[in-house]
Amino acid sequence: MMPLRNILFIMHVFILLGLLVFLGCSNRKTVDRELFTFEEGKIENIPLDNETSKSNLEYQFYEKNNNKFFYLLSSSSKKIIVYDWITKAILNKINLIEEGPDGVGHPNDFFVKSPDSIYILSRYLYRLSLINSKGTVIDKYRLLPSETPFDEKQLSRPPSKYGYTALPTAGNAKSGDIIDDGKLITLLCDPNLNHMNYEEYYKHAKNILIYDKKTKNITYSLPFPDIYKNNLFYPTQYDWRYRTYNPRKNKAIVSFPADNNIYEMDINGSNIKAIMANSMYFDEVKPMSAPVNNPEDRFKHAVNNFYYGGIYYDKFKEIYYRLVNHPMNVEGDIRNTKLKSFETSIIVLSKNYKILGEIKIPKKYFSGVAFVNSEGIYLKKMTTSDDSLPFVLLKYKPRINKQ
């Protein structure tokens, strides 16, 4: 009869082998958990005229009733160019005036509610203007509480409890849509705190501005997540916030570069719900070990670490895309380094925020500019050409039936 010691040894071996097999299966399930793939589609080139520089541009795709338009805001030339998406022909050029009855200030961002209702944001004037397709101002909204003094002629920054107020920003990557339900206007911006005082900024700042069109009252919602409050040394590149809008639920969804969660909320700023939507490639975005004033060092920390990019709702497929920027691993002085494009992955979530998977995409895409239409998600293609803006289609393809 086999000694008990040998039997116990064999049992331990089998248990260890079973554990290894289990772990192997678990890892394989993590790597192969994608229920979908992305198929690369055609490249769409948006032509640029001689007056339009590739810098200081904002984009939006507009699609309704089989009409597809591409809107381009050039802050430097102060105009909006409207393209037919199919033919790429220019349909309209809306010249934006800074001063006077139809003045919108310096245009920093925009949102197309409809072809004849376009919002223009002027950060320096704390003003949101609603114009029609001819550039005529329909309405104006002051993005400061009524009791806050502000001299538009001198562009003085209004005072606040924690220092001068920050200029409002509506988000980037065209993921900060302005929502107008007829009663309320909500923006992804924070015009009430000093960005340079990070300890107070992260503890007290709110990230959503809600403007009541009837009372003209302004309220703020959505504080920074705890990960920002407990780690005050994130570089300024992690201050971006991203938002998308689900019209079926009438909900706004907000994402922060340094937070694994996304946040669902009503457009009036209530019922905030944190939802885990983490990447499988890292556990947590790394803060800096100490405050650093040098902007190059802050930027270097950002590009050498993981962080989250924009979030987009695909209303046609009822899914969400969350972009993830991977480290560039830049060494030496970043000022003398030719930066390559990020390696990017895309997390896909179901309409109920279940993670369906995460897939890496080629480095030839620039994940900082993206939009969604009925075909899929478009990312800007890396190029040195000044004649056009190329966008590459990534078509979401489920591998199994819908969940």
| Cα(117)–Cα(64) distance, integer angstroms | 14
User: Residue 8's pLDDT is what?
Assistant: 43
User: Residue 26's pLDDT is what?
Assistant: 34
**SS3 of residue 311 by DSSP:** strand
CB 137 within 8 A of CB 103: yes
Identify the bridge partners of residue 323 per DSSP, sorted by sequence position: 346
For 17, other C-beta atoms within 10 Å of its C-beta total 10
113 phi, psi to nearest 5 deg: -80, -40
User: Residue 170's pLDDT is what?
Assistant: 56
Cα–Cα separations (whole angstroms), residue 16 to 5, 60, 141, 254: 17, 55, 67, 44
User: Residue 9's pLDDT is what?
Assistant: 46
pLDDT along the chain (403 residues), means of 10: 48 40 34 71 89 80 91 91 96 94 91 94 90 96 85 76 62 66 86 65 85 93 89 75 92 94 95 97 88 80 89 95 89 67 88 94 75 92 80 88 50
User: Residue 378's pLDDT is what?
Assistant: 93
User: Residue 222's pLDDT is what?
Assistant: 93
User: Residue 215's pLDDT is what?
Assistant: 94
| Cα(244)–Cα(253) distance, integer angstroms | 5
Cα–Cα separations (whole angstroms), residue 369 to 85, 113, 183, 195: 17, 20, 30, 24
Task: Give residue for tokens 């969940």.
Answer: 403
User: Residue 53's pLDDT is what?
Assistant: 75
Which residues make Cβ contacts (< 8 Å) with residue 307, sequence separation at least 6? 237, 238, 257, 258, 285, 324, 325
Identify the bridge partners of residue 118 per DSSP, sorted by sequence position: 112, 131
CB 301 within 8 A of CB 235: yes
CA angle, corner 203, sides to 198 and 208, nearest 5? 100
Cα–Cα separations (whole angstroms), residue 256 to 188, 192, 322: 12, 19, 11
Prediction pTM value: 0.85
Structure tokens that stand for 288 in this block: 């800096």
| Cα(39)–Cα(112) distance, integer angstroms | 29
User: Residue 200's pLDDT is what?
Assistant: 75
